[in-house]
Amino acid sequence: MRSNKKLKMLLLVVAILLVGVTVAYAALSATLNVTVNKITQNVNSFGVEFINTGSSIAATTVGGTSATGRSCGTATVTANSVTISDTTLSKPDDSCQYTLTIKNVGTITAKLISITPTNPSGTSCSTSSGARMVCGAAANKSITYTLTTDTGASTLLTTSTTKAATFVANDTLVVYLTAKYTGTELNSTAVNQTGASFRLNWGQK
């Protein structure tokens, strides 16, 4: 009988201790809440295009000693491409230059990621990198293609060109496409260089 009383007393003490532990734990607990208020997704757009779309643009500068054996095709412009029609360059210093205007038509700042040249068929190229290609069967009979930021065709467009590297909304970038006979001798037979091109890849700044 006495042992039953002791057992009951012991159980009661244990129960009281457990309650005390629970109360102590509750007293030390904490709840943290994080609330995110309204998030607004504004309307933005990304786009870089040629302007003057639908136009047929004549060469803005024609170079060379005479018009003999030289004709500059016209440039047909769409938002995503410029295509130059058949052109003839036959002697040293013959050249055709076209003024092209690119615009950031979006709301997001863009940057020029890369410039990839595609060599023309019908010949080989000694240089083909970035905004410059030098193509011809021999160096003294070559045609040089460039994309530059100056009319003298000496300052190549690059990904680090200031405006191209940070092309803000509504801004424009003027570039000059030039094809020039940079060889020093005449070709003894006709050569057709077909399909030379530059691809400008733009991305988000």
* 31 backbone dihedrals φ, ψ, rounded to 5°: -120, 125
The fold of 48-204 is Immunoglobulin-like (2.60.40)
The predicted pLDDT at position 137 comes to: 84
Mean pLDDT of 53-80: 94
Band of residue 123 on the pLDDT scale cut at 50, 70, 90: very high
Query: What's the pLDDT tens digit per position in 137-182?
Result: 888 999 999 999 999 999 999 999 999 999 999 999 999 999 999 9
Query: What's the pLDDT tens digit per position in 22-64?
Result: 555 557 888 899 999 999 888 899 999 999 888 889 999 999 9
The predicted pLDDT at position 26 comes to: 56
Average pLDDT in the chain = 90
Residue located via tokens 């410039």: 115
Mean pLDDT of 172-196: 95
Using the predicted structure, report yes or no on whether residue 9 has a pLDDT greater than 80.
Answer: no
What would the two tokens of residue 112 be? 């020029």
Residue from 15, 17, 101, 108 nearest 57 by CA: 101
**pTM for the full predicted model:** 0.82
Instruction: Please report, rounded to a whole number, the percentage of residues in the chain having pLDDT higher than 90.
Output: 77
